[in-house]
Amino acid sequence: MPEDDRMKILGICSSPKGSRSSTLRLVRAAKEGAEENGAEVELLDLCQLEIKYCNACQTCYKTGRCVHKDDFQGLYEKILAADGLVISSPNYFHSVTAQLKTLIDRMADAAHCQLLTGKYCCSLATGGSNYDQVTGYLGDLMIGFGAFFTGSAGAEMSGGPAALEEGERKARALGRSLVDDIRNKREYAEQRAVQQSIRSHFKELVRMNKENWKHQYDHWNSIDWR
């Protein structure tokens, strides 16, 4: 494959612990697996970026652009250009970190327009005693944006170093599977059914608001409401 045509995967780590993060170890393992399988992977530390809170002004619904001037736009362009996403977080009170939630909230336009359609994602998490609350949430979220969900991996830190090593092994395999899914355009029938119902919901919502949400109405028109 020519260099430019290489499959692109974006890995996002949202732990504030930088290089000391256990979650980062999982993301690095997934990156290695994906690279071994031929993808080009960029890994981003979300906590190094300035991403302001969504203020629910709906300007992005009307224009496709956010009013804030910060690091979101550059990151969003990378997300939209990627074939696959590895999204990760430590478990913070049964959910993702505030930094990741802030990014997610800035992506309401992508949800309404289903802009992750055609992409594949996987989720990674660590927790003191539970990680699947987070990986499950992120999986449902990605399907809600229109993407297929390849799967998840994680580690419970109460299990000690062996649990993290096992999580890394699974994350590495998941990275490989993510690339296989993208390459083979794998169809997940159950996820497709959920996506169709979410799509119908957002199409209806945008139609109802067509006077105000011009960008979103134009977007759905441009793809013939399919």
Ligand X SMILES: Cc1cc2nc3c(=O)[nH]c(=O)nc-3n(C[C@H](O)[C@H](O)[C@H](O)COP(=O)(O)O)c2cc1C
Strand ranges inside 119-213, DSSP E: 120-127, 148-156
Alpha carbons 132 and 125: distance in angstroms, whole number: 7
Distance of closest approach, residue 102 Cβ to ligand X, in angstroms: 15
- For residues 156-195, which are near ligand X according to CB under 6 A? 157
Q: Which segments within the chain are labelled E, that is strand?
A: 8-13, 40-45, 84-90, 120-127, 148-156
Using CB under 6 A, which of 3, 93, 184, 211 touches ligand X?
A: 93
- The yes or no reply on residue 118 touching ligand X (CB under 6 A) is no
What sign results for the dihedral spanned by CA atoms 45, 12, 138, 114?
A: positive
Is residue 11 near ligand X by the rule CB under 6 A? no
Q: Least separation, in Å, of the C-beta of 157 and ligand X?
A: 5
Footprint (CB under 6 A) of ligand X, residues 195-214:
none
Task: Provide the residue type at 187 as one letter.
Answer: E
- Near ligand X in 121-150, by CB under 6 A: 126-130
- Judged by the rule CB under 6 A, the positions of this chain that interact with ligand X are 15, 17, 21-23, 90-94, 126-130, 157
